[in-house]
Amino acid sequence: MPNNYDTRDILTPLALTVIIDNKVRDPELYEFVVQAEGLLDLLMYDNKIDHEVIIAWFKDNEAELTKRIKSTRKNTFILTTLNRFKGDDIAIEAMYDAMLAISISDKEYHVDESDLIKSAAVLWGYERPPFKVIG
């Protein structure tokens, strides 16, 4: 099976989930690495990237991604980033699960984070999020 994604395709939506609330917390960064390792393994097959490289990628790209989500073209950037996975059910389900895991890892509700997850759900054809919150 051909490799249809590059590292940036996979890590950008995950990084957006971490930084969209303007606070990078340790639980989110930890979950970012865990989810990134799983997705990179699933979607890039032959390209093993360890957690040090993933953290370095995040640190190298954080300022640029933050700038883009604070710009007037924020929505276009997010939609373009998420649309990279359109039509690939395995990638969509895995990416959605990973973004959700990151968003709840800090056990805090943030409107921008919630809106990002809702946008992904709608864009990827989920009528409602495919998870159940018990509480």
- Asked if 19 and 29 count as a contact pair (C-beta separation under 8 A), the reply is no
pTM of the model: 0.88
Query: What is the reported pLDDT for 103?
Result: 92
Cα–Cα distance, 51 to 120 (Å, whole number)? 25
Low-confidence ranges of the chain (pLDDT < 70): 1-3, 45-47, 127-135
Question: Virtual CA dihedral for 48, 79, 84, 92, nearest 10 degrees?
Answer: 70
Task: For tokens 């190298």, name the residue.
Answer: 60
Task: For tokens 């276009």, name the residue.
Answer: 76
- Burial environment of residue 97 by CB neighbours within 10 A (0 to 12, 13 to 18, 19 or more): middle
